[in-house]
Amino acid sequence: MSTESVSELAKRRPYGKDSEKGHHDGAAVSTREVDTGAQLAAGFQGELEPEEATRIRRKIDWHILPLMFLLYWVQFMDKTTLGNSAILGIEQDTHLTNSEYNWLGTAFYLSYLVFEYPQNLALQRFPVGKWMSVNIFVWGVALACHAACKNFAGLLVVRLILGVCEGSITAGFMIVSSMFYTRNEQTLRVGYWFLMNGTAQIISGFISYGALHIQTKGFRPWQWLMIITGIITLALSVAYWFFFPDSPTNAWFLTKEERIKAVQRIKGNQTGVENKHFKMEQLMEALGDYKTWIFALFAGLCNVPNSLTNQQQLIIASFGFTYLQTTLLACMTGVVEICTIWSGVTIAARWANTRAYVGAVYFIPTLAAAILINTLPWKDKTGLLICIFFAYFNTTSFVIALAWVGSLTAGHTKKVATNAIMLSAYCVGNAAGPFMWLERYKPRNHIPWTIIAVCDVIGPLLLLLLRFLLARENRRRDAEPADETYEDVYIERTNEDGTVEQVKVEKEFLDLTDRQNRDFRYVL
């Protein structure tokens, strides 16, 4: 029997003179055209009871979130080892100049940028959990190898390798979050695993404090820091290989019936689970979608100030604090990040359609901090230190945007492409940021803080612009006639006894993009 692609079905969309009846003959589509959850969801009878949906969600939480928390804690801790090593002697021992130190921060994100799209394609092609596990293993090896580096060239190589592997982590988590959780749940879950960055700053601060007290002949404290964090990362890669699920359709901790319910539970997202077939038309749609580029510009600008992560130890030390005090004070930025992210995503999830507003508000403290740190007298060390802590508030806005882009984008290839573009822009911002912190700007760093203030003005305006455009699109769709193009679509399913049956596939599992599916409404 002949089958059609989703693109061919779209050509039969019932607009125009003949749209009044809205009737189409049934259409058969290839199983590779539809979502991987289609065969599980096809033929599902009845409604999923709220109590059962909650039970399934809790079971997913218990098996996924701890691993996500651990990995995001570890990956951010590993990224900040460079900043922590700065006060443990890495610059002196490897003979780094200020320019070379900044280049090490930039190199990480340059390789992240180059490999971001290949990483996203691999996440679509291969099992997500297994692919992430391989990258975590290579990451751990590269991190431990920092301890063997004697100069800038060696450190540059291992930093480039870290950047390559990093590209799979956030992208993989964004995909997994959209697979297992409803749109409202995604905002909270993305916030929960992202706030582990703050936890990482606290724990890595104490690890650095401990490493500072390790005195061994021929092996410096910063080298011990690299070895300790490398071993932790390698252990986590093994856990991911065996325990992190690739999809709700094959999650090891769910029974067959629970997998069906897990897929049915996210039906309201209208984004499906995943599709391993790359679709060029979805890639082109992502490239032509204004949402993609607003998110990209936002991600780039929002992460220029992120270079502060590798500079904060040096800045705090310049206020006159000792190395031990600097290490412990840097933990406070982690506390600030945990509190702000948790409060921001909780507010955005509790009150419907407030994502843009909440994201915009959390830029205000960072903007105020950037202005005050430029204007307060240098002798006001307490005020300057508090401004450093407040400079991390806008991380919450980026977290909300990460969750939001997954909720706004449907079609697996389009989602992968959009994620890749947004995270590539994130890399550009992070790669450009270190070049602000030039030697001639020290100690006040007026130019870097002015650039940060400009980013904090443009960022919230982009979020509000996006909300305006999406609200207008929702009103346009509300005024359109019903689209029944995809109401009578089926696939052929082979039963255990060898018989073949035709089962209807609901629109939500046809791997449609948010533009193809006119029933899709953008959350605000």
Can you spell out the DSSP letters for 134-169? Answer: HHHHHHHHHHHHGGG--SHHHHHHHHHHHHHHHTTH
Strand partners, 494: 500
**In the predicted model, what is the mean pLDDT of the chain?**
81
Closest CA to 298 of 461, 95, 102, 101: 461
Q: What is the pLDDT of residue 520?
A: 84
| DSSP annotation string for 252-296 | TTS-HHHHHHHHHHTGGGSS-S---S--HHHHHHHHT-HHHHHHH
CB of 490 closer than 8 Å to CB of 26: yes
Q: How far does Cα 432 stand from its chain's mean position?
A: 19
Which runs of E-coded beta strand occur in 244-303? none
Calculate mean pLDDT across residues 289-303: 92
Tokens of 345: 């995503």
- 55 vs 250, higher pLDDT: 55
What pLDDT was estimated at residue 444? 81
pLDDT at 294: 95
Supply the pLDDT for residue 365. Answer: 92
More confident residue, 315 or 476: 476
Structure token pair of residue 405: 């882009």
For 17-23, the CB contacts below 8 A with 24+ separation are 19/481, 22/481, 22/482, 22/483, 22/484, 23/484
Q: What are phi and psi of 322, to 5 degrees?
A: -75, 170
What gap in Å lies between CA 141 and CA 138, rounded to an integer?
5
Residue type, 491: I
Higher pLDDT, 90 or 363: 363
Do 374 and 449 contact (CB within 8 A), yes or no? yes
pLDDT score, position 22: 35
Task: Give the whole-angstrom CA distance, residue 398 versus residue 194.
Answer: 10
Q: Looking at the DSSP assignment, which residues form a beta bridge with residue 503?
A: 491
* Selected residue with higher pLDDT from 20 and 8: 8
Per-residue pLDDT tens digits for 447-470: 888 999 999 999 999 999 999 999
Q: What is the pLDDT of residues 210-229, one digit of tens each?
A: 777 777 777 888 888 888 88
Q: Which helix (H) or strand (E) holds 504?
A: strand 500-504
Measured between alpha carbons, how far is 369 from 312 in angstroms, rounded to an integer? 14
Q: How confident is the model at residue 241 (pLDDT cuts 50, 70, 90)?
A: very high
Residue 496 has pLDDT above 70, yes or no: no
- Cβ proximity of 80 and 135 under 8 Å: no
Other beta carbons less than 10 A from residue 106's beta carbon: 20
Query: Bridge-partner residues for 4, per DSSP?
Result: 29
| Predicted pLDDT of residue 18 | 37
Average pLDDT of span 357-381: 90
Residue 503: the pLDDT is 67
Query: What does the pLDDT average to over 476-493?
Result: 75
Q: Give the residue with greater pLDDT, 22 vs 378.
A: 378
Q: What is the average per-residue pLDDT within 87-110? A: 79
pLDDT at 45 over 80: no
Q: CA 124 to CA 282: how far, in whole Å?
A: 13
Percent of the chain with pLDDT over 70: 82
What is the spatial distance between Cα 476 and Cα 281, in angstroms, rounded to a whole number?
23
Higher pLDDT, 301 or 199: 301
Amino acid, res. 484: E
- Listed range (213-222, 231-240, 378-387) with the worst mean pLDDT: 213-222
Most distant pair of Cα atoms in the chain: their distance: 85
Confidence of residue 135 (pLDDT cuts 50, 70, 90): very high
Contacts of 169 (CB under 8 A, 6+ apart): 71, 72, 75, 132, 135, 136
- Give residue 363's pLDDT band: very low, low, confident or very high (50, 70, 90): very high
3-state secondary structure of 69: helix
> For residue 19, what pLDDT is reported?
35
**Domains of the chain and any CATH numbers:** 48-271 (1.20.1250.20), 281-482 (1.20.1250.20)
Q: How does DSSP classify residue 29? A: B
